[in-house]
Structure 1
């Protein structure tokens, strides 16, 4: 097997640490030399201590031509100075800029993992067509291998000829199943829901608060735990102000901020809820399923690939607060059904969402470049 010098490009070091680290370590253990280009927000030193070469570059998580062009030039310089054999890009804006830079630098292999195409069915027609066209153009002219976590994205990319089928891969998504396992709740108490995600509008957090307000008006003891950061690097800086106000108005909500031990947190709750407007293939749902929790999620790409409606949980329509509240109440009022859904979710997670399989597919690709 030939070993490569691979540059991983993503927006933030926290993304590399929390989402990409298992792949990075597997590549390193296979003999590849791994560098990471991203913005340093505090996690870069920990990644450097693991032997990864860190390149601190500012990456705006939105379209800003002046800043974006500076990022492209920085990545081009890194690629030329360090003579990387391959570039592997992640996250929408960083992936676009990284591929343009790799093409300009003449990098031999350009690999893009689409954790979820940025365009989705809930967008307006003009915005959808614009982002769709950009993704398709970059896939055709600035990508050698396109890896899709979502089955729906894979089928679309294949049908619309983003790349030749031999250059497309349905990658899937998964978690370390040895860390997540079912366990009875360690504390007795009222039925408790859990949300894990960024505190931004597109995660559906404001609809969740309104729905929970309806739930607690019927079942006064039910609780909601919320884990997630309010990061200064987010494009959405307004939702957090509404969020702070609303959680003071609604009873029985525990806001935990960032939580490191997610398995332990899941063992403290009865069900998981994620009413996102847009997702790739969310790991948080897989983690909840692997701990045998029923899941309520929105009927969107990614979520509907994980949750089987009526069997492992429920799918609700985006921004439908009334339907969300009704499904939450059904779980509260039918704990036996909730437990049965949790067990079915556990079996599905064990069968379809093993991180080791996802990593193996990527290792095989890089070994054959």
Structure 2
């Protein structure tokens, strides 16, 4: 019997192992021949080597993760269509904005028999006030979503708010089914429980964007350190090629003031989580934040926002605190509560681990996806 050919379309090579590695392994275990289409993957990189070891065939595609050049996007669409026809794709799944839009359209034109999309978050065009460039982007992306998603057999979402918004805006037609899954999941054996440090150490891991709440984190950190000078605030990430990125000058100012310890971009965030007592993500909106799941699996209390995608991870007062979006005062208060109540930090961390095991185990999440795609 011929194995079905499954093509996964991505925009960022680093996500393939970190976020989709277990899904790729589950697809292989289900008897699929797995191909990946992604731009900018170095053939000599560790990611390429690991995919090759798994038996995954990797294809370079001319897809720009950011930018609005219609000719380049058309080139990506045509390249994806050629790829799908050449490999005889039976299933296609795209995730993040451009792979969803152009992967869905290419699969439809190529006649791929089973077409899926995974909405992992809404990004810059959907967050913040819709003015200027953001308004233009929002209108364009919504139109592209509306047209491309109607070509899918099923659309996955990572939180119910995003699903409801797409339905409300008419981006997903009533005839197209959808399914909410618990994020990308986390390997609870890989992200193991670790003891807490003796002192108060806060950590944020994110692309350094305004919409991730990085500025609110730095502002709250300065306020807390004025009262508790020994509290430590660490930041892991990088300045992204995004209109909403913070500036290098801002980051330098936080570091020079002694407010933030900047650890840069880490290929493995586990040591940073081990060294923290509380994980903080003041994001304006997420699909389901993977870094929060990793911190929860490693038994850390979490402070995050009462925002789509984030609110699903925390039971307020049980495994952490939910604060309003952009509310620096509430963020400061939550941090101080945990500094002043270290026993609560430990209890919340234990509950985080339980929730990670019960709700966000990556193997459970992937089993749902494979079943919904007719592969299990």
1:138 to partner: Cα distance: 2.3
Q: Which residue of 2 aligns with 1:124?
A: 130
CA distance in structure 2 between the partners assigned to 1:285 and 1:124 by the alignment: 27
Match of 2:32 in 1: 32
Structure 1 residue aligned with 2:234 = 225
Tell me which residue corresponds to 1:210: 219
Alpha-carbon deviation of 1:51? Answer: 1.7
Does 2:56 correspond to 1:45? no
Across the two proteins, how many residue pairs are aligned to each other?
Answer: 364
Quote the Cα distance in structure 2 between the aligned partners of 1:172 and 1:164. Answer: 22
2:312 is paired with a residue whose SS is helix
Q: Deviations over 1:167-213 (max 9, x none)?
A: 3222222211112333323x54x310011111222212122112111
Counterpart check, 1:295 vs 2:302: yes
Ranges in structure 1 where 5+ consecutive residues have no aligned partner: none
SS of 1:305's equivalent in the other structure is coil
Query: Is the Cα–Cα contact under 8 Å of residues 179 and 263 in structure 1 kept in the other structure?
Result: no
Displacement of 1:347 in angstroms is: 2.2
Stretches of structure 2 lacking an aligned partner (at least 5 in a row) = none
Question: Residue 325 of structure 2 aligns with which residue?
Answer: 318
Tell me the TM-score normalized by structure 1. Answer: 0.89
Tell me how far 1:164 sits from its aligned partner.
Answer: 5.1
- Equivalent of residue 88 in structure 2, options 65, 78, 83: 83
Are the aligned partners of 1:87 and 1:107 in contact in 2 as well (CA < 8 Å)? yes
Which residue pairs with 1:92 in the alignment?
Answer: 97
**How much has 1:97 moved relative to structure 2?**
1.3
Q: Within 5 Å, give how 1:148-167 maps onto structure 2.
A: 148-157=157-166, 162-163=172-173, 167=177
Aligned-partner Cα distance in 1 for 2:74–2:175: 32
Aligned to 1:280, the other structure's residue is in SS state coil
Kindly state the Cα deviation for residue 35 of structure 1 after the two structures are TM-superposed: 0.7
The worse-fitting range, judged by mean Cα deviation, of 329-338 and 69-78 is 329-338
8 Å CA contact retained: 1:201, 1:236: no
Give the drift of 1:261.
3.5
1:238, 1:154 → 2: CA distance?
26
RMSD over aligned CA atoms reads 2.6
8 Å CA contact 1:158–1:165 kept in 2: the answer is: no
| 2:339 matched residue in structure 1 | 332
Does the 8 Å contact 2:216/2:327 carry over to 1?
Answer: yes
Alpha-carbon deviation of 1:121?
6.5
| Offset of residue 23 of structure 1 | 0.5
Contact kept, 8 Å, 1:200 with 1:240, in 2: the verdict is no
Q: Which moved more, 1:197-206 or 1:300-309?
A: 197-206
CA distance in 1, matches of 2:330, 2:244: 27
Return the alpha-carbon distance in structure 1 between the equivalents of residues 126 and 312 of structure 2.
Answer: 15
Residue 145 (structure 2) pairs with residue 135 (structure 1): yes
What residue in structure 2 maps to residue 20 of structure 1?
Answer: 20
Q: Which secondary structure state, in structure 2, belongs to the residue aligned with residue 265 of structure 1?
A: helix
Q: 1:364 to 1:29 in 2, by over 3 A?
A: same
The equivalent residue for 1:108 is 113
Question: Is 1:7 aligned to 2:1, yes or no?
Answer: no
